[in-house]
Chain A
Amino acid sequence: MSVAPAAPHNQSPRTASGPSMVPQERASDSVPPATLLRWLRDMFLIREFENRCGQSYQQAKIGGFCHLYTGQEAAAVGTINSLQPDDPIITAYRDHGHALARGMDPRACMAEMYGKAAGCAKGKGGSMHMFDKPNWMFGGHGIVGAQTPVGLGLAFAARYEWEVMGKAVDGGPAKKKVALAYLGDGALNQGALHEAMNLGGLWDIPCIWVVENNGYSMGTSIERGTTMAHDLRKKADAYGIRGEIIDGFDVINLYDNFKPLVDWCRDNQKPAFVDLKTYRYLGHSMSDPQKYRTKEEVEQFKGKDSIDRYASVLMNERKGPDGGPILNEQMMMDMQAEVKETVRAAIEFAENSAVPDASELYTDVLLNPMPNMSPSGEYRIGAKNPLL
């Protein structure tokens, strides 16, 4: 057992800066049934998408590194749905789940996996670089921890809009936003995170660093990599930042705890730090023999699978306006069929899409290309990104 047990979700925050987190009403009580069902659908979508990515990778249709999100679906879906659609987010390289939860077209996501021109980054990014401007997803990023100060910068800019400019950079009204910067537990030990958290605490920048704590940085269990692994909130304490531990397997519980935290950060324009307990079912990447953990441990976590659990809640516990359950077997089968078809269509789209034109090698290097920038070729403005 490598992941410390999650704190009970009604536990009060320890840090001095925040009010009690015990909600009078559960945040999820006011979420409409259609939205709750969409969360389940998005979790199914991520699961299916990753399964098919794994297959395509085995068939050598996807290259490079490929880090699958299977097992962690509730983490992305629960956190992202606690935001406004124009709150910026940024994450590390295990990023397909966030992209899909944020609303990226699965075809653009899969085409990027396949290195095709219709991909979200026109085939120039790959698995680790899911960028989606219309959905305020500022990328998957490859260097562990490097995205943590960038997320701080997103939140800084959002605060700067209302505080300094008095309007948004697009000319519209400025409003109070929150940025989410996701990181894995491996990034806990990168200096970049600690510099970012210090600056965030110092300047009250509304960035929430969400540690998707799946217990392992590659093959190194969290206890072997970081101090105070049993209570990561102590790291936030050091920077005067509010810290929370949240169970990331139960999407309803996650929302009940995370949504009030987001609201608090937005209203007070303060940062926060969350140890979100989760688990990945598959290896770190596609080439991981997983000698560092037992099969039993993996099976134990699969036994409390977030999708199964959530489906059961929607079928048995959560009641609709008519007093009946909001999900039944038939609806779930229809949902799974729709998701299967969506991902199948994404694969088909990716397989049939064109590779980037050779001329695209020298585009998107500069926004203002000029002569004599490079001895090997002339930079040019490239094809329009299909997402934009």
Chain B
Amino acid sequence: MTAFATTLPDFTAELPSRDGDRIIQYREALREAMSEEMRRDPRMFLMGEEVAQYNGAYKISQGMLEEFGPKRIIDAPISENGFAGLAVGAAMYGLRPIIEFMSWSFSLVAADQILNNVPKMLYMSGGQWGCPIVFRGNDGAGGQLGSTHSWCVEGLYANVPGMKIAIPSNPYDAKGLLKTALRELDPVFFLESERMLGDKAHVPAEEYYIPFGQARLCREGDSCTLVSFGRPVNFCIEAADDLLKEGIAVDVLDMRTIRPLDIDSIIRSVQKTGRIVVVDQSWPFAGVASEVVTQVCERCFDWLDHPPVRVNTADVPAPYAKNLEYDYLPNKDRILAAVRGITGKV
């Protein structure tokens, strides 16, 4: 009699190349990660609104009902608090739930389960029961969805100890990070983006796992450190390419996970550049960018040649009008202005 057990992946293996011609969408990368791990582990099931018969509200789980059947790909009614709570009990019992929130905006109605129970169970039971659940879904402004449907929860949820938060910015990382999340012993909040689900890139056929807590250096330069996570990483890369034409070379760090936060890579970069701009699609007050800036000031204040700069979502509810929403979110123009300002090359 062998108990089912979760084994951490071997992170010593070198990650496969990001270059190649197996071009798939971000959503397909997510689906591959889930399907591969579900084939490996019968304790794993996917539950959420429209994940089965509808094939996923955003087609992430397309075809999974066919492969795994209705007992493992489970359509839940609109009861986020109910099915998040179900996942807590199932995970404590020994299963490995994957819970899809159609949008992280809807996770707020499940706040009691995901903030009071999930991250605290291990502690308040004195180490007897953890909640190894992967909660995943769309985070951030989907495009003119208005104030209640555009939540970037990273600022809110990163405040709570007891879970890990991953936020991939591209298909390759989406697959590699989700694979790791599904092999984690701890709860993982996995923040995707409706606006990136159709993004395409090479995703290797071979199996790979991206370790949490290791930022990726996407662009290299010594003028400034640009730190971001999730969708705005792509704006940072675009901005960096523009800036290079102006003779400003910047480091762009994609954090990939918020908890753990690879502050060591940030500090190494700041020690080279002396300047930091943090781009964060959640609100500025007490948010992730604030935390990054604080830790930089605590750990390498003397290396700074300029006060740190934050590029956040505007500190207002999300607007509907297209032009207002553009101004509300971090975008390439705002990043360019911030870097030009901090490097004195306005």
Contacts and interface: CB of A to CB of B under 8 A. Distances in A.
Nearest to A368: B185
Interface stretch (A17-25, A114-122, A261-269): A114-122
Given A131-B128, A133-B128, A169-B4, A372 B262 contact: yes
Contacts of B8: 368
B77 interface: yes
A192 B80 CA distance: 10
Contacts of B87: 153
A49 B297 CA distance: 53
B128 A169 contact: no
B124 A121 contact: yes
Contact of A121 (B84, B128, B295): B128
Given A170-B94, A372-B213, A375-B295, A164 B71 contact: yes
Given A90-B89, A146-B113, A125 B124 contact: yes
Give the size category of B's interface with A.
35 or more
Contacts of B262: 372
Contacts of A192: 81-82, 85, 112-113
Give the size category of A's interface with B.
35 or more
Interface string A164-180: 11000111100000010
> Which residue, of A125, A129, A196, A364, has the highest number of chain B Cβ atoms within 10 A?
A364
Contact of A364 (B72, B126, B263, B298): B126
B93 A149 contact: no
B95 interface: yes
Contact of B3 (A164, A169, A385): A169
Nearest to A372: B260
Contacts of A123: 126
A92 to B, nearest CB: 13
Contacts of B93: 88, 138, 153-154, 157-158, 169
Interface in B210-243: 212-213
Contacts of B43: 165, 169
Given A133-B128, A133-B129, A149-B85, A164 B260 contact: no
Contacts of A153: 85-93
Given A154-B89, A160-B90, A372 B264 contact: yes
B261 interface: yes
A158 B260 CA distance: 33
B100 to A, nearest CB: 16
B259 interface: yes
B20 interface: no
B126 A385 contact: yes
Given A90-B89, A160-B90, A170 B112 contact: no
A382 B122 CA distance: 11
B213 A388 contact: no
Contact of A370 (B82, B112, B123, B260): B260
Interface in A142-192: 143, 146, 148-158, 160, 163-165, 169-172, 179, 191-192
Given A88-B93, A164-B42, A195-B81, A367 B185 contact: yes
B171 interface: no
A64 to B, nearest CB: 12
12 contacts: A120-B126, A121-B128, A139-B124, A149-B88, A153-B89, A157-B93, A164-B45, A171-B4, A199-B79, A199-B86, A373-B213, A373-B260
